[in-house]
Chain A
Amino acid sequence: MGITRRQLLQSGIGVTALLLAAACASEDDAGTTQRGGTLRVGALGTAARIERDPHGNLSNDSDFLIASLVYDALTVPGADPTVAPRLATHWEADADNRRWTFTIAEGARFHNGAPVTAEDVVWSMRRLRSVGGASKMPVAADDITADGPNRVVFTVPESNTQLPLLLRLMTFTVPQGTTDFTAAIGTGPFRLESFQGGTARLVRNEHWHGAPPLLDAIEVTMFDSVTALGNAAIGGQIDLASNVGAIAGRTAAGRADLQVVRRPNDTMVGVAMRTADGPFADARVRTALRLGVDRTALVNQVHSGFGTVAADILGTADPAYDTALARRDRDVERAKTLLREAGFDTGRSYPFVTKAEVAGEVESAKVVATQLAEIGVRLDVQVVEPAAFYDQTWLTAPLYTVSWGTNDSVVFFAEKLMSSGTNRNETAFHDAEFDAAIARALAASGAEYLQACEEIQRIQFERGGYLVWGMADGVDIAAASVRGLPTLGGFARVQLERAWLA
C-alpha cells in the first residue's frame, strides 16, 4: 500500500511541502508555507436544506464542508490508494476480509478536550447507521463493537475489501450520547465559532491530532446559485468558490488575480440504458448507441472542455481503471450495422428523460440526442424536475441521464449500481458473470483483486447499460494567493485543512 498520506504529513514540514508540490500543479513556491489568515469560502447550499446533524442527509455542499472541517471521518479520500487515514490511523482485516479493525489516532481529542474513545466511535457509527441508513454505514449496528480503548471492529456478513473506502466521508465521530449538534463538538482540524443560517466561522484547532492547520480561520458562506457564487469570487468578496463549475471557470481563466483549480474525475454525467427489457435490452443496440456518440465533442460542448473522455466504465479515477481497455471512438457505420442486425426500430422515437440536477446534464441529453440522430436513433428529450425524476423515472425508464460523484472506485460503482442485488440498479443489469467478478473483488486482494477488477470493467465495456461518455472536472476558482487547495475529484473538495494564504 506504500506510504500513506498521514505518514508523509507526520514526517515533517519538508515532506509536507513535497506532498503539497506533488498535489498542487499550480504550486510555485511550495517550500515556504505561511501560517495565519482567514480563508473566505463560498459553497453551494439552500436554506431549506440546512442540516446540522453530521449523520443526517447533508445535501448542501456548505453543510458538508462545515461538517468535514469540524468532525473527522474515520477515513478520507486519497489519490493512490484512494483511501487515506484520518481519525483512524490504520486498519487491518482478517484473512477473509470480514472482520475489520480500525485504530483510532493517538492523541485524538474532542474540541472540549475530552479524549476520543472507542465507545464514542462505536456510538457515532451506530447512530450513523440508524439515522443515515445502510448506504452511509454498511455495517449493522450490532456488528460495530469496541475492542479495547482505541480500536473499533466492524464485522460484515460477507467478505468486503472495500470497507475502508465505504467508511470515508460520512463517518463523523461525535461525543457519545450527542443529539444536539448546535455546539458542534467534533475532533476535526477546525472548531465551530459561530453558525447562522448556513453561514459559519471556523477557527483552527491547535490540538488537532493531525498536523495543525495553517489558517487561523475559515469562513463558509452559503450560496444559493452558482452565478452568485462565481460573482462573489470574481468580485473578490470570497477567496474560494468551491465547486462553482465550468462557466465561472472559463470567466476566471483569463484573470491574473484568480486561479482556476481543476479537479479531474469529479462528476460523471452519463446515460443509463435499461438492459432487462425494452428497446435497449439487446447488447448490440447499446453498443451502437455507445459508438454513435462523439465523446470529445460532448466534453467540449457540455463541460466547456473542463473534463475528460471516458469509455462506458464507471470509476475512472480508480488506480485499477483499465485505460488500455477503455477507449471507444465514434463509428457511425458500425453503429448503423449493429442496429440493423438487432432489428432496432428506427421508425419511431424514444423518450430520453433528463433533469437539471448537475451542471450540463440537460445539455448533455440534447447533444447526445443530436448525435444519435446520425445513426438513425431518434430521441425525444424530456426535461423533468429532479423530485419528479426520482419519483417516476429513476430505476424504471428505458433511457435517462444519470450523474454520480466520487468516481474513484470501480468496485464501488459495480456493486452499488450494477450488481443483481442492489436497490440502485439504474440499468436493471443482471449478469451472473458480473456478480461473480464483484464477489471475487470483494473477497480477494493483490493480483486476484486486480484481475477481478479487470473482469468487471471488461463486462461493463462489452455489455453494460451505461453510456459514460466523459467525466466533468470539479472546477473551483480561488484568489491567486490561496495555496494548498485540494486537487482530487469528488468530495475531496472539502479537504481544506492544508490550505494556506501566501
Chain B
Amino acid sequence: MSAVRAFVVPVLRRLTLLVALLAIVLVAVDLLPGNAARSALGRDADQAELLAKERELGLDRAVPIQFWHWFCGVLTGDFGQTARGTSIGALLADKFPQTLLLGGIALVLTVVLSLALGCWWAMRPDAVGARALQPATTVSVAVPEFVCGTLLILVFSLATGLLPAVTLTGPSGFPAGPEMLILPVLALAIPQIGWNTRIVRSALLDVATAPHVESAVLEGLPPRSVLLRHLLPFAVPTIVAGYATSVGMLFGGALVVETLFNYPGVGAVLAGSVADRDTATVAAVVALTAIVIMVLLAAADFARTWATRGAR
C-alpha cells in the first residue's frame, strides 16, 4: 500500500500534468499568428489551395476537437502526420534516439564528474585544485550552453583544429564519428557539472556537521570510509534532487546545442515545427521529451525514497 502511495500516485499526478501541459502547448501554438497550411504550401499557394489544405489537416475544427483527435491517436501509438504529410512517428524515430544519446552521455558525464569533483572539494578544501573550483563552477553555471558551445568551437575547432566544429551525419543517421560527439556533450554538460559540483559539495558539508559524522571522525576512521559510509548516503537525497533538475536543463539545452553543432536531433524538428505552426508535431516532440524527463524524475524520486528509507 505504501508502495502505491509512493510511486503510483506521483506517476498519475505527473501524467495528468502532462496532458494539461500538452493542451496548453497546443492552445499556445494555435494562438500564435500564422497558419500551418500556408507554411506547408509556401507563399505561392492561392486561397483555394489553402482552404483545401486546412480541411485536410483538420484546422477548420475547434482546437479542443483537434486536441482530442490527436490525443486518441497517440493512445493508439499513432502520432499522425506533419503538415507536409510525412509520418511524425517516423520523423521522431529518425531523430529522437540521437537526442537521447547526446543528453544521456551528458547526464552520465555530469553525474560522474560532479560527484568526483564535489567530494574532492569537500574533503580537501585547501588543495590548489579545489580552490580553483570556486570560481570555475561559478563561471560554468553562469555561462549558457550556446556561449559555452561557441567558445568550445572557437578554441578546439577553428583555432586549433583538434575537433570537428559541426556534426556530420553518417548513413545510420547518427554522427559519422565519435569525435563529433565530444564538443556537443561538453557544451551541454559543463554548465550542469558546475551546478551539481556545488550541490554535492554543500550537501556533504551539511551532513559533515551531523553528530554521527563527528564521532566517526573522532574514532579515527580513514576519510574515505567517512565519505562513503557516513557522508554520502545522507547527502544522496539532496544530490539526486540536483540531478533531477539537471535532466530538464539537459534536454532544454540539447535543443540549443543541436542547432549550434548541427547535431541531427529532435531540436531542429521542434524549432521548425513551431515556426511552421505544425501543432501535431510540436505536441509529439513535447510529449516524448516530457515522458523521458518524467521517467528520469521518477527514477530520482525512487532513489531519494530508497536513500531516506532509514529515516522513516
Whether a CB of chain B sits under 8 angstroms from the CB of A183 is no
What's the least CB distance linking B37 to chain A, in Å?
10
CA distance A235 to B167 in the complex (A): 11
Q: Are A385 and B269 in contact (CB under 8 A)?
A: no
From A133, A199, A225, A228, give the contact of B44 (CB < 8 A).
A133
Whether a CB of chain B sits under 8 angstroms from the CB of A34 is no
CA distance A390 to B157 in the complex (A): 39
CA distance A497 to B102 in the complex (A): 36
CA distance A387 to B29 in the complex (A): 12
From A48, A50, A225, A390, give the contact of B262 (CB < 8 A).
A225
Q: Are A237 and B166 in contact (CB under 8 A)?
A: yes
From B94, B276, B277, give the contact of A49 (CB < 8 A).
B276
- Render B90-105 as a binary contact track against A, CB cut-off 8 A, 1 for contact: 0100110000000000
What's the least CB distance linking A129 to chain B, in Å?
11
Whether a CB of chain B sits under 8 angstroms from the CB of A232 is yes
CA distance A186 to B24 in the complex (A): 45
Q: Are A391 and B165 in contact (CB under 8 A)?
A: no
- Render B143-164 as a binary contact track against A, CB cut-off 8 A, 1 for contact: 0000000000100011001001
The answer to whether residues A228 and B272 also contact, given A387-B35, A391-B35, A394-B43 and a CB cut-off of 8 A, is no
Whether a CB of chain B sits under 8 angstroms from the CB of A223 is yes
Q: Are A390 and B166 in contact (CB under 8 A)?
A: no
What's the least CB distance linking A394 to chain B, in Å?
7
Q: Are A231 and B165 in contact (CB under 8 A)?
A: yes
Set of chain A residues within 8 Å of B35, measured between Cβ atoms: 387, 390-391
Interface residues of B, CB < 8 Å — how many? 51
State which of A51-59, A263-271, A323-331 sits at the interface with chain B.
A51-59
Q: Are B44 and A135 in contact (CB under 8 A)?
A: yes
CA distance A384 to B275 in the complex (A): 12
From B84, B168, B169, give the contact of A57 (CB < 8 A).
B84
Q: Are B41 and A133 in contact (CB under 8 A)?
A: yes
The answer to whether residues A196 and B171 also contact, given A57-B40, A224-B262 and a CB cut-off of 8 A, is yes
What's the least CB distance linking B97 to chain A, in Å?
11
Q: Are A228 and B164 in contact (CB under 8 A)?
A: no
Write the chain B residue with the least CB distance to A236.
Answer: B161
Whether a CB of chain A sits under 8 angstroms from the CB of B268 is yes
Q: Are A48 and B33 in contact (CB under 8 A)?
A: no
Interface residues of A in 47-104 (CB under 8 A from B): 47-51, 56-57, 59
Q: Are A387 and B277 in contact (CB under 8 A)?
A: yes
Q: Are A196 and B172 in contact (CB under 8 A)?
A: yes
Q: Are B158 and A133 in contact (CB under 8 A)?
A: no
Whether a CB of chain B sits under 8 angstroms from the CB of A335 is no
Whether a CB of chain B sits under 8 angstroms from the CB of A162 is no
Q: Are B157 and A221 in contact (CB under 8 A)?
A: no
Q: Are A232 and B272 in contact (CB under 8 A)?
A: no
What's the least CB distance linking B181 to chain A, in Å?
14
Q: Are B39 and A50 in contact (CB under 8 A)?
A: no
Whether a CB of chain A sits under 8 angstroms from the CB of B17 is no
Q: Are B38 and A390 in contact (CB under 8 A)?
A: yes
Set of chain B residues within 8 Å of A49, measured between Cβ atoms: 84, 272, 276
State which of B45-53, B124-132, B246-254 sits at the interface with chain A.
B45-53
From B34, B170, B258, give the contact of A390 (CB < 8 A).
B34
CA distance A423 to B49 in the complex (A): 13
Write the chain A residue with the least CB distance to B285.
Answer: A48
Q: Are A235 and B268 in contact (CB under 8 A)?
A: no
Set of chain A residues within 8 Å of B281, measured between Cβ atoms: 48
CA distance A57 to B85 in the complex (A): 11
What's the least CB distance linking A245 to chain B, in Å?
16
Q: Are B173 and A197 in contact (CB under 8 A)?
A: yes
Q: Are B157 and A388 in contact (CB under 8 A)?
A: no
Whether a CB of chain B sits under 8 angstroms from the CB of A227 is yes
CA distance A224 to B86 in the complex (A): 19
Whether a CB of chain A sits under 8 angstroms from the CB of B264 is yes
CA distance A392 to B33 in the complex (A): 8
CA distance A57 to B47 in the complex (A): 16
CA distance A388 to B33 in the complex (A): 5
What's the least CB distance linking B202 to chain A, in Å?
37
CA distance A49 to B271 in the complex (A): 11
The answer to whether residues A227 and B32 also contact, given A46-B268, A234-B165, A235-B157 and a CB cut-off of 8 A, is no
Whether a CB of chain A sits under 8 angstroms from the CB of B82 is yes
Whether a CB of chain B sits under 8 angstroms from the CB of A346 is no
Q: Are B42 and A59 in contact (CB under 8 A)?
A: yes
From A48, A133, A134, A391, give the contact of B38 (CB < 8 A).
A391
Write the chain B residue with the least CB distance to A385.
Answer: B34
- Render B41-71 as a binary contact track against A, CB cut-off 8 A, 1 for contact: 1111111010000000000000000000000
Set of chain A residues within 8 Å of B276, measured between Cβ atoms: 48-49, 387
CA distance A80 to B300 in the complex (A): 68
CA distance A68 to B239 in the complex (A): 55
CA distance A229 to B260 in the complex (A): 10
Q: Are A388 and B169 in contact (CB under 8 A)?
A: no
Write the chain A residue with the least CB distance to B161.
Answer: A235
CA distance A235 to B262 in the complex (A): 14
Q: Are B158 and A232 in contact (CB under 8 A)?
A: no
CA distance A52 to B168 in the complex (A): 20
Whether a CB of chain B sits under 8 angstroms from the CB of A286 is no
- Render A411-445 as a binary contact track against B, CB cut-off 8 A, 1 for contact: 00000000000011000000000000000000000
Q: Are A387 and B172 in contact (CB under 8 A)?
A: no
Interface residues of A in 101-155 (CB under 8 A from B): 133-136
Set of chain A residues within 8 Å of B169, measured between Cβ atoms: 196-197, 199, 221
CA distance A225 to B153 in the complex (A): 15
Set of chain A residues within 8 Å of B46, measured between Cβ atoms: 133-135, 423
Interface residues of B in 217-275 (CB under 8 A from A): 258-262, 264, 268-273, 275
Q: Are B44 and A136 in contact (CB under 8 A)?
A: yes
Write the chain B residue with the least CB distance to A221.
Answer: B168
What's the least CB distance linking B47 to chain A, in Å?
7
Q: Are A387 and B34 in contact (CB under 8 A)?
A: yes
Set of chain A residues within 8 Å of B259, measured between Cβ atoms: 224-225, 228
CA distance A47 to B255 in the complex (A): 13
CA distance A224 to B266 in the complex (A): 12
Q: Which 6 A-B pairs have the closest CB atoms?
A: A387-B34, A48-B272, A135-B44, A388-B33, A46-B272, A235-B165
A-B contact pairs, 10 of them (CB 8 A): A47-B269, A48-B270, A48-B275, A48-B276, A49-B276, A133-B41, A135-B44, A196-B173, A223-B262, A231-B165
Interface contacts beyond A47-B272, A50-B86, A231-B153: sample of 16 additional A-B pairs, CB < 8 Å, sorted by A: A48-B275, A49-B276, A59-B42, A133-B46, A196-B169, A197-B173, A201-B171, A221-B262, A228-B166, A231-B157, A237-B164, A384-B33, A387-B39, A390-B34, A390-B38, A391-B35
Partner-B contacts on A (CB < 8 A): 40, 46-51, 56-57, 59, 133-136, 194, 196-199, 201, 221, 223-225, 227-229, 231-232, 234-238, 384-388, 390-392, 394, 423-424
Partner-A contacts on B (CB < 8 A): 32-35, 38-47, 49, 82, 84, 86, 91, 94-95, 153, 157-158, 161, 164-166, 168-173, 258-262, 264, 268-273, 275-278, 281
